A and B are shown apart, each in its own frame.
Chain A
Amino acid sequence: MTGGPSMDKTSRWLEDRLPVWRDVGARLDAVERGRAAEPDDVVKVIAAYPEIARDLAIARREAPRGPLTRRLEQIYLELHRSIFRSPSHWRRDLVALFVRDAAEIAGSLRWQIVWVTALFFASASAGAWLINQYPELVGLFASEAMIEQVQSGQLWTEGLLNVVPSSLLAVQIFTNNIFVSLFALVVGIFYGLGTVYVIGMNGMLLGAVFSYTAQHGLAQRLFEFVAAHGFVELSVIMIAGACGVSLGEALARPGRETRVQAFQRASMRAAKLMVVCCTFLVGAGLIEGYISPNPTYSLTMRVSIGLGYLALFVIVLSGALGRLPRTAK
Chain B
Amino acid sequence: MDGTLKIPSVTGIDVELRIAGPGGRSYAFVIDWHIRVLVALAWMMVSGFLYFGSLAALGAGEASPSDVGFIVVLPAVALYLLYHPVLEVLMRGRTPGKRMAGVRIVKRDGGVPGVGPLLIRNLFRLIDSLPFLYLVGLVATMLTKQCVRIGDIAAGTLLVYDEAYAGTFDDAPTSRGIERLGLERAELVRDLIARWPELRPDARAGLARRLLEREGPVPEGLHDDELRARLEQLLK
Where the two chains meet, the residues of A that have a C-beta atom closer than 8 Å to any C-beta of B are 1-3, 7-8, 10-12, 14-15, 18, 21-22, 24-26, 28-29, 49-50, 53-54, 56-57, 59, 62-64, 66-68, 70-71, 73-78, 80-81, 84-86, 88, 90, 164-165, 167-168, 171, 182-183, 185-187, 189, 260, 263-264, 267-268, 271-272, 274-275
CB-based contact B70/A167 at 8 Å: yes
A residues in contact with B153, CB < 8 Å: 260, 263-264
Q: CB-nearest residue of chain A relative to B180?
A: A2
Contact among A10, A21, A75, A171 for B69, CB-based, below 8 A: A171
Contact among B7, B120, B126, B173 for A80, CB-based, below 8 A: B7
Question: B residues 143-161 with Cβ under 8 Å of A?
Answer: 150, 153-156
**Alpha-carbon gap, A71 to B172, bound state (A):** 10
Question: B residues 209-235 with Cβ under 8 Å of A?
Answer: 215-216
Question: B residues 44-75 with Cβ under 8 Å of A?
Answer: 64-66, 69-70, 74
CB-based contact A77/B169 at 8 Å: no
Question: B residues 187-203 with Cβ under 8 Å of A?
Answer: 187-188, 190-191
**Alpha-carbon gap, A267 to B152, bound state (A):** 11
CB-based contact A50/B184 at 8 Å: no
Number of interface residues of B (CB under 8 A): 56
**Alpha-carbon gap, A55 to B110, bound state (A):** 21
- A-B residue pair count with CB separations less than 8 angstroms: 159
**Alpha-carbon gap, A266 to B190, bound state (A):** 52
Please choose the segment from B9-17, B21-29, B35-43 that sits at the chain A interface, where 4 or more of its residues have CB less than 8 A away: B9-17
A132 to chain B, nearest CB (A): 35
Q: CB-nearest residue of chain B relative to A164?
A: B65
Contact among B9, B116, B169 for A271, CB-based, below 8 A: B116
CB-based contact B66/A86 at 8 Å: no
B residues in contact with A22, CB < 8 Å: 167-169
Question: B residues 105-149 with Cβ under 8 Å of A?
Answer: 109-112, 114-117, 119-120, 123-124, 126-127
Q: CB-nearest residue of chain A relative to B215?
A: A1
A216 to chain B, nearest CB (A): 30
Are A3 and B182 CB-contacts (below 8 A) given A75-B167, A81-B110?
yes
Q: CB-nearest residue of chain B relative to A260?
A: B153
B residues in contact with A7, CB < 8 Å: 178-183
CB-based contact B171/A67 at 8 Å: yes
